[in-house]
Structure 1
């Protein structure tokens, strides 16, 4: 019987080479609406959506201290780019907003949980006291990941949206010890 191979999940800076690979991953293995706002009619990848995706990551290279107050990283699994995560300042002092998207091929394999844990460690290293994430009640995979990492989930008044919050301890270790475990 062959031994199960453990995947390596890391976050990397989005330089031009990584950005080209990130765009390729998005346009070939994710729906445009999963990666970009609804910029155009329809859900298909268009030149406008690809241009938006490229510019989104380029202007965030300055990081949290830059003009957008936001930073992004590519999610890499075994040297293959499979999505991205972002952290952004919020109006709440010390709390960063987090977002993530993954290619279809990366979903359901624990990559989301491991990449989110890596983003939490990144947030802690940047001095965050907490991280929040927003999703919908239909995104059961995201809600499961957030719960497993210790986020407190709150349902919106209309019952459609979910806000998740994780407060980091002063050493930034809350929920940051998660490693690649089976789903």
Structure 2
């Protein structure tokens, strides 16, 4: 059985904890947009990671139309997820998602559980669909998407895959916000 997964908003403390997980257990290219410079977690890349997440704090209604979360399992941050208003749909009815997990936490069903939480978040925001783009060789992402009921079809390039998930009534949490405030200490 998979341990419960939560999505936490990224206050400064959670952001630093997320960065520590990324530095210890992921490559920069797995967790953030490219940053010029030598490989690895340079000081510039660490600051770019922080800035990227801080810019998304205003959420779906903010200027970027995007929110990032820490994925937590049993009180420990294990990765990050995001929801974004899809470029072609400024109404917010279609949201795009993406996530990464620390290498040591992959293969444990956490991505499937986190995607279920993201579906609940999307439902609370009023979205009717959640979409994701990945690659044909990302078997874990494809499994998580399919386990959550995604319709998967080829993308524009042969190695790309596009997935769409309908946000259903059962995806909505029974009471209040699916995302607790900052982590409990």
Q: Normalising TM by the smaller chain, what interval?
A: 0.7 to 0.9
- TM-superposed CA distance for 1:154, in Å, is 1.2
Query: For the structure 1 residues 122 and 62, does the alpha-carbon distance in structure 2 shift closer, same or farther, using more than 3 Å as the test?
Result: same
- TM-superposed CA distance for 1:162, in Å, is 0.6
CA distance in 2, matches of 1:174, 1:152: 16
Greater RCO (CA < 8 Å, at least 6 residues apart): 2
Q: Could you tell me whether the CA contact under 8 Å between 1:149 and 1:175 is conserved in 2?
A: no
2:78 to 79, 82, 85: 82
1:37 aligns with 2:33: yes
1:116 aligns with 2:115: yes
1:71 aligns with 2:70: no
Match in the other structure for 1:165: 164
Where does the alignment leave 5 or more consecutive residues of structure 1 unmatched?
Answer: 178-183
- TM-superposed CA distance for 1:79, in Å, is 1.0
- TM-superposed CA distance for 1:156, in Å, is 2.1
Runs of 4+ in 1 over 6 A off after TM superposition: none
CA distance in 2, matches of 1:163, 1:43: 29
Match in the other structure for 2:145: 146
CA distance in 2, matches of 1:56, 1:158: 27
CA distance in 1, matches of 2:157, 2:63: 33
Q: Deviations over 1:11-69 (max 9, x none)?
A: 11100110110000001001111001222355422222211110111111111011110
Q: Could you tell me whether the CA contact under 8 Å between 1:84 and 1:100 is conserved in 2?
A: yes
Match in the other structure for 2:9: 13
Number of corresponding residues: 171
CA RMSD of aligned residues (A): 1.9
